[in-house]
Amino acid sequence: MATFWASVFVFGILIFFHELGHFAVAKAVGIKVHEFSLGFGPRLLGLNRQGTDYNLRLFPLGGFVRMAGMDPEEEDVEEGKGFGHKTISQRMAVITAGPLMNFLLAAVLLAVIFMLQGMPMPGTTIAGVLPGQPAQQAGIKPGDQIYSIADKKVDNWEEIISSISSRPGQSTKLVVLRDNQKVELSVTPTVGEEGRGMIGISRVKKLNPLAALAKGCEFTFQVTVLILQFIGKMIIGQAPADLGGPVRVIWEIDRAVQTGFFYLLQLAALLSINLGLFNLFPIPALDGSRIMFLGLEGLRGRPVDPSKENFIHMVGFGLLLLLIVFITYNDILQLFIQSPQGAP
């Protein structure tokens, strides 16, 4: 049950913010919005405000914003209030706003993690020193960079943990870099759980809201670049085609529930980046193809026949459904292969 509600939470925020992007910009440029819905299928509940229906529907795997003039067969569209009545740049802004909101959501989720849980400091830098513990008593300070332990140079946090854990109760020479100067200290690790040595230091630092948001934006950009690089390698055959569908996503959400709330937020941020990026691809039925058609309209000086464009989107949507079915089948096979009992 926890996995179910976690899945509803993750899919819900991804879809809500994506559609909110379309909705907010459409309203801002004066397009009449008939409906803002989360989910598909029968309407569970809703309300009407200023001519817009806000609905929650039965199946939570999707959502949509229905704007005036998007359907070529729609009649009686109020002059100046239809999607097609707006300039190309305004229409592009409406379409692009959905994916961009997914990138913004990812940055905000990561910022929340960096504020509440903290983020790892690079290399061997110490972020925090626990009061009353051996590290503080030895004179170790936040910002110090551990250079060596017991005359053995350390290059990463894993080596620090391994070295200190193996020396409970032993006076240990420790060299840190402080203001670009080497400082030699002596510390005696206490005996912790399972007899491991501990000195009371942390590599995780909690950030203030502005710094956290800046880091969230930075990480979002870095992850986006990594995804694009991986896709490029898949296209040229340098990396295996590794696509995941709803089944794998729910499986990952189940793992996140078992690991903790912050891991769930991290997974939601990664999925939001993927959703935003995927929607920008020029694939029929996705936002990217609508942007492409608007660009073509700008070059030609006239729009593509709406009926032809809608047919292309309909065909693209059908092909996407087939792809999702194939990916889902493959995900289920992989889960059975990974399970020793033949079941996930």
Task: With a cut of 90, say whether residue 257 has pLDDT above it.
Answer: no
Nearest to 148 by CA among 184, 174, 170: 174
pLDDT, residue 344, reads 37
- The more confident residue out of 43 and 241 is 43
Which segment of 22-26, 106-110, 121-125 scores lowest on mean pLDDT? Answer: 121-125
pLDDT, residue 306, reads 81
- Who contacts 254 (Cβ-Cβ below 8 Å, separation ≥6)? 3, 6
Structure tokens at 213: 């948001």
Q: What Rg, from alpha-carbon coordinates, does the chain have? A: 26
Task: With a cut of 80, say whether residue 248 has pLDDT above it.
Answer: no
DSSP assigned state of 156: S
d(CA 339, CA 335): 6
Which segment of 21-30, 194-203, 232-241 scores lowest on mean pLDDT? Answer: 232-241
- Who contacts 133 (Cβ-Cβ below 8 Å, separation ≥6)? 190, 198, 199, 200, 201
Helices first, then strands: H and E counts in the chain:
9, 12
Given pLDDT bands bounded at 50, 70 and 90, which one contains residue 342?
very low
Report pLDDT digits (tens) over 123-136.
999 999 999 999 99
Going from N- to C-terminal start, the domains of the chain cover 2-118+211-338, 128-205
pLDDT, residue 178, reads 94
Given pLDDT bands bounded at 50, 70 and 90, which one contains residue 79?
confident
d(CA 134, CA 198): 8
Share of the chain above pLDDT 70, in %: 94
* Helix, strand, coil content of the chain in percent (nearest 5): 55, 20, 25
The one-letter amino acid at 202: S
Given pLDDT bands bounded at 50, 70 and 90, which one contains residue 318?
confident
pLDDT, residue 331, reads 67
Quote the mean pLDDT of the chain: 88
Which segment of 57-71, 174-188, 238-252 scores lowest on mean pLDDT? Answer: 238-252
Backbone φ and ψ for 303, nearest 5 degrees, come out as -75, 155
Q: How far is CA 211 from CA 54, 150, 208, 219, 246, in A?
A: 35, 35, 5, 12, 33
CATH number belonging to domain 128-205: 2.30.42.10
d(CA 307, CA 297): 15
Task: With a cut of 60, say whether residue 341 has pLDDT above it.
Answer: no
pLDDT, residue 311, reads 84
3-class SS letters over 49-85 = ECCEEEEEEEEEEEEEEEECCCCCCCCCCCCCCCHHH
Given pLDDT bands bounded at 50, 70 and 90, which one contains residue 343?
very low
Report pLDDT digits (tens) over 288-314.
999 999 999 999 888 888 878 888 888
Task: With a cut of 90, say whether residue 328 has pLDDT above it.
Answer: no
Torsion, Cα of 224, 228, 229, 235 (10° steps): 160
Task: With a cut of 90, say whether residue 23 has pLDDT above it.
Answer: yes
| E strand or H helix at 181 | strand 181-187
Mean pLDDT computed over 250-255: 81
pLDDT, residue 335, reads 63
